[in-house]
Amino acid sequence: MTEPGTPVGAVAERATAGFRQRYGTEPAGRWAAPGRVNLIGEHTDYNDGFVLPFALPLRTVVAAAPQDGERWTVWSELADSPVEFGAAEADQRGRVTGWAAYVAGVVWALRAAGHRVPGARLAIASDVPVGSGLSSSAAIEAATLAALVDLGGLDLTDDRRPRLAQRAENEYVGAPTGIMDQSAVIRCRAGHALFLDCRTESVEQIPFDLDAAGLAVLVIDSRAPHRHADGEYASRRKSCERAAELLGVAALRDVSPNDLDAALDRLDDEEMRRRVRHVVTEDQRVLDTVALLRAGRIRDIGPLLTASHASMRDDFEITVPEIDTAVEAALAAGAYGARMTGGGFGGCVLALVDADAAESVAAAVTAAYAERGFPAPTHVTVLPTGGAHRLT
């Protein structure tokens, strides 16, 4: 079997080498944060519902050391040159732009919460693909946050970190995202998925030991161009909010699956009915998945994953031909279940497979792509890992 994901040692080495080369000294430490993938629960977050992400063995590593004054210098192997900013730029939202805004946003959020953030030099390397929906943004935020908290000896427990990283992204970078990504990359544990209630923000570790069961998750990057994803996301969100209003509930999470038919009868718009059906049934699929995992029945979640995909395809209408092709090919090649993961209109597909079948399932997907004339997809086989931490 190939090593799932990529080893943290290699990416940490690149961050360290970048730090030495850029700053001519040794870093004081290195901090890693993973990407994440959502096992099930799509478009449920902004409906106050449930999600179930797990952390990927693909990581962003920040090598860092303190520097005098309130100055921050950041370099990333993905960028041409380092970016420097001081307290004035950090304190004014949006002043630092581009990729470095994710780092400046963390400094801003910490300072806004009253922390004394130490000046620092940072060098960043990453194996998390950027913009594929595996949350490289939360990974860079979480690794930066862990580094600054440790360097400054700041008092910020793990349960308070996701909110802070989310504020960095929402308010400094200006990207509207829910709390899932930051919660996952900070709070996930190895061998577990993170059951997150998006209304209360409470989390629970759910056993998901793929390795012990001889299983793995194959993550396929569809490489489909994100077609109108922003506008489509906004219209889905609006439709859900309007439906909740019409039904007289705070959010669609409050519609019980038992009352779904009655609720749908009260809506005139056929499209809106389908949107509601997706959200309500998807919340229930997350709960059913959690129940099966608690009972140690990992293989049995396969049909729920596949049903989630059908619901996204037919009711929420957020899949694209590349994505549907990958799901169908994975299932035909023996996956226990497969679904698109992420907001839709591109991004990744995940498939639950026997660990020793991962490569043959991936090959079947690649062949199906070739047949349809799509550009070849990429893939990685993963096991659930832990959240952000300091490397020794």
Residue from 137, 182, 222, 385 binding ligand ADP (CB under 6 A): 137
The verdict on whether residue 233 carries a ligand-binding annotation is yes
Of 48, 68, 150, 181, the catalytic one is 181
Residue from 124, 164, 244, 338 binding ligand ADP (CB under 6 A): 124
Residue 186 neighbours by CB under 8 Å, 6+ apart: 33, 142, 145, 158, 161, 162, 165, 387, 388
Is 181 known to be catalytic? yes
Identify what 363 binds: ligand ADP, Mg ion, none; CB under 5 to 8 Å per kind. Answer: none
Main-chain phi, psi angles of 276, to 5 degrees: -65, -45
Using alpha carbons only, what angle is made at residue 320 by residues 311 and 177, rounded to the nearest 5 degrees?
75
For residue 38, state whether it binds Mg ion (rule: CB under 5 A). no
Other C-beta atoms within 10 Å of 16: how many?
Answer: 18
Residue 119 neighbours by CB under 8 Å, 6+ apart: 66, 67, 68, 69, 70, 71, 72
Would you give the binding string for Mg ion spanning residues 126-165, x where CB under 5 A is met? ---------x-x----------------------------
Q: How far apart are CA 156 and CA 154, in angstroms?
A: 6
Which structure tokens are listed for 365? 């997907």
Residue from 16, 60, 222, 341 binding ligand ADP (CB under 6 A): 60
> CA nearest 189: which of 206, 175, 177, 202?
206
For residue 182, state whether it binds ligand ADP (rule: CB under 6 A). no
Which one of 126-134, 226-234, 269-277, 328-336 is the stretch in contact with ligand ADP (CB under 6 A)?
126-134
Q: How far is the CB of 130 from ligand ADP (least distance, A)?
A: 5
Q: How far is the CB of 2 from ligand ADP (least distance, A)?
A: 23
Question: Edge-to-edge strand order for the sheet containing 337-341?
Answer: 337-341, 348-354, 215-221, 378-382
Identify what 124 binds: Mg ion, ligand ADP, none; CB under 5 to 8 Å per kind. Answer: ligand ADP
User: Residue type for 380, please?
Assistant: V
Which one of 75-83, 236-244, 294-302, 307-315 is the stretch in contact with ligand ADP (CB under 6 A)?
75-83
Q: Give the nearer residue to ligand ADP in terms of CB position, either 47 or 135.
A: 135
Q: Is 233 exposed, middle or buried (0-12, 13-18, 19+ CB in 10 A)?
A: middle
For residue 319, state whether it binds Mg ion (rule: CB under 5 A). no
Residues engaged in binding Mg ion (CB under 5 A): 135, 137
List, by residue number, the catalytic residues: 181
